[in-house]
């Protein structure tokens, strides 16, 4: 089978197509013929050895897949050859075939494409965990989303609206503001590109405050980090929750006096660890996501597809923060 492999630490240009033996389903596993693999920011980090997990090389990046079961291993029940599935292997998805534990599979609903299926779980499951478990978002509250036109950003807009929040979407361009509005944002804010000096940071903070209103944001969803974090935190409301999701703009240093002045919480969001530690709670979230998908309240937005050999270009576009919605490699 063909695979797009990382053979040494580096950027997307270091990835190369290679031939590997077809995988065999072990006990409790199935082999999935991968049809689509979504690209996410962890793919940028993992090939540079900057992610929480460092798989032994050579390995394929690609953290979420959709495909068709081709082989069922010993001890697997409830699944059959030909079943359409989605899964989040964490890495290894940019391959033609993948052996994976059957316990990690979810059924892809009929009528949904493999591209949509590959684009659902990581972003939406991260976001529902963030908003409900960590952010305790309630109907009528104000949700400020940074990086709101990316995969997790658009998911946060849709889920925020599904849960009855007023959603303020902050983005870096007019084109991204249009995407956020189309996803249901009540208001959009276009911010400049970092880095910021002291005056620029203060101006951005004032813009955030004006957008969220005089009471401040009840929940801030931040998958961006960097110089955007402190201005956003200054716009938080009393007892607000600041959700730390990712750092494509860099890891920020926050002045902790702000947390005292606002009596607010800064909450880390690590969906992968949550799903591993509490699989039943994660299963309940995923079931809720499928229900919302069926009701039309959420809809993964695949804006560009790539061939397997061009998977590095998709990762490079993600690294450059040029993606709107989800980028998917079709296989």
Q: Tell me the C-alpha distance between 88 and 114, whole Å.
A: 14
Residue 52 pLDDT:
84
Q: Tell me the C-alpha distance between 147 and 233, whole Å.
A: 15
CA–CA distance from 226 to each of 54, 147, 175, 219 (Å)? 23, 12, 22, 18
Q: Assign domain 2-120+300-330 one CATH number from 3.30.565.10, 3.90.180.10, 3.30.200.20, 1.10.150.120.
A: 3.90.180.10
Please, what is the Cα angle at 151 between 147 and 157, to 5 degrees? 65
Q: Which of 213, 203, 221, 255 is nearest to 238 (CA)?
A: 213
Burial class (CB in 10 A: 0-12, 13-18, 19+), 175: exposed
Q: Tell me the C-alpha distance between 227 and 320, whole Å.
A: 16
CA–CA distance from 268 to each of 117, 165, 168, 219, 249 (Å)? 26, 21, 21, 13, 17
Please, what is the Cα angle at 121 between 175 and 115, to 5 degrees? 65
**For the chain, first and last CA: distance in Å?**
11
Q: What is the pLDDT along the chain (331 residues), one digit of tens a residue?
A: 999 999 999 999 999 999 999 999 999 999 999 999 999 999 999 999 998 889 999 999 999 999 999 999 999 999 999 999 999 999 999 999 999 999 999 999 999 999 999 999 999 999 999 999 999 999 999 999 999 999 999 999 999 999 999 999 999 999 999 999 999 999 999 999 999 999 999 999 999 999 999 999 999 999 999 999 999 999 999 999 999 999 999 999 999 999 999 999 999 999 999 999 999 999 999 999 999 999 999 999 999 999 999 999 999 999 988 889 999 999 9
Residues of the chain with CATH 3.40.50.720: 123-272
With contact defined as beta carbons under 8 Å apart, do 329 and 62 qualify? yes
Residues of the chain with CATH 3.90.180.10: 2-120+300-330
With contact defined as beta carbons under 8 Å apart, do 150 and 324 qualify? yes
Distance between alpha carbon 62 and the CA centroid of its chain, in Å?
12
Taking only the tens place, the pLDDT of each residue in 218-257 is: 999 999 999 999 999 999 999 999 999 999 999 999 999 9
With contact defined as beta carbons under 8 Å apart, do 62 and 93 qualify? yes
Please, what is the Cα angle at 275 between 272 and 280, to 5 degrees? 175
Q: Tell me the C-alpha distance between 127 and 134, whole Å.
A: 10
With contact defined as beta carbons under 8 Å apart, do 322 and 304 qualify? no
Taking only the tens place, the pLDDT of each residue in 160-215 is: 999 999 999 999 999 999 999 999 999 999 999 999 999 999 999 999 999 999 99
Q: Does the domain at residues 123-272 carry the CATH identifier 3.40.50.720?
A: yes
> Which DSSP state fits 132?
I
């Amino acid at each position: 089978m063909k695979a797009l492999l990382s053979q040494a630490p580096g950027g997307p240009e270091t990835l190369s197509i290679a031939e590997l033996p077809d995988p065999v389903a072990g006990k409790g596993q199935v082999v999935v013929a991968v049809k689509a693999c979504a690209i996410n920011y962890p793919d940028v980090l993992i090939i540079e050895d900057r992610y929480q997990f460092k798989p032994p090389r050579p390995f394929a990046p690609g953290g979420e897949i959709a495909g068709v079961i081709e082989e069922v291993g010993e001890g697997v029940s409830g699944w059959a050859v030909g079943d359409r599935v989605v899964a989040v292997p964490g890495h290894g998805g940019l391959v033609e075939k993948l052996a994976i534990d059957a316990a990690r599979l979810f059924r892809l609903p009929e009528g949904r494409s493999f591209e949509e299926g590959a684009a659902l779980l990581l972003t939406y499951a991260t976001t529902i965990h963030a908003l409900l478990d960590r952010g305790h978002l309630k109907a009528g509250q104000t949700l400020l989303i940074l990086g709101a036109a990316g995969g997790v950003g658009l998911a946060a807009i849709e889920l925020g609206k599904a849960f009855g929040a007023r959603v303020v979407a902050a983005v870096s361009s007019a084109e991204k503001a249009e995407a956020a509005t189309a996803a249901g944002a009540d208001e959009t804010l276009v911010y400049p590109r970092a880095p910021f000096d002291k005056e620029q940071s203060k101006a951005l903070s004032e813009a955030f405050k004006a957008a969220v209103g005089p009471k401040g944001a009840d929940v801030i969803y931040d998958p961006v980090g960097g110089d955007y974090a402190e201005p956003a935190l200054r716009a938080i409301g009393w007892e607000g929750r600041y959700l730390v999701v990712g750092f494509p703009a860099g890891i920020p240093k926050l002045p902790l006096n702000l947390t005292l002045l606002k009596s607010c919480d800064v909450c880390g969001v690590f969906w992968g660890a949550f799903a591993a530690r509490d699989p039943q709670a994660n299963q309940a979230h995923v079931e809720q996501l499928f229900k919302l998908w069926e009701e039309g309240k959420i809809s993964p937005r695949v804006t560009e597809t790539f061939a397997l050999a061009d998977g590095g270009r998709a990762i490079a576009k993600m690294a450059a923060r040029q993606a709107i919605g989800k980028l998917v490699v079709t296989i």
